[in-house]
Structure 1
Amino acid sequence: MQKWEYATAPIMIHATKQILDNWGEDGWELVQVVQGPQGDNLVAYFKRPKGA
């Protein structure tokens, strides 16, 4: 059975592509982006196969 690891990261609007590209280079797949708890930022949820 495939096992996964997960991570969350704040996303700054002015550097979205660069941030997502950096996570992608490390093998992370973007799962979802939601508004942060303060309402003034975004939080990205990532996953990748465990052991990657």
Structure 2
Amino acid sequence: MTRWEYATVPLIVHATKAILDQWGADGWELVQVVTGPDGNGLVAYLKRPLAG
């Protein structure tokens, strides 16, 4: 069975692509983007398989 680790990342509107490209290069897969907890901005939820 695959085990996962997760991350939440605040997205800066003018740098969204660069942020997601960097996390993707590190092996993270984007799961969902939602509005931030304060109602402003966006937060990305990412996952990647645990090594081992």
| TM-score, length-scaled by structure 2 | 0.94
The answer for unaligned runs of 5 or more in structure 2 is none
The answer for unaligned runs of 5 or more in structure 1 is none
Please report the RMSD computed on the Cα atoms of aligned residues, expressed in angstroms: 1.1
| TM-score, length-scaled by structure 1 | 0.94
Q: How many residues align?
A: 52
Equivalent position SS for 1:7:
strand
Shift of 1:39: 1.1
Q: Where has structure 1 moved over 6 Å in runs of 4 or more?
A: none
2:18 equivalent to 1:10: no
Same amino acid, percent of matched pairs: 67
Which residues of 2 match residues 1-52 of structure 1 at below 5 A? Answer: 1-51=1-51
Equivalent position SS for 1:40:
coil
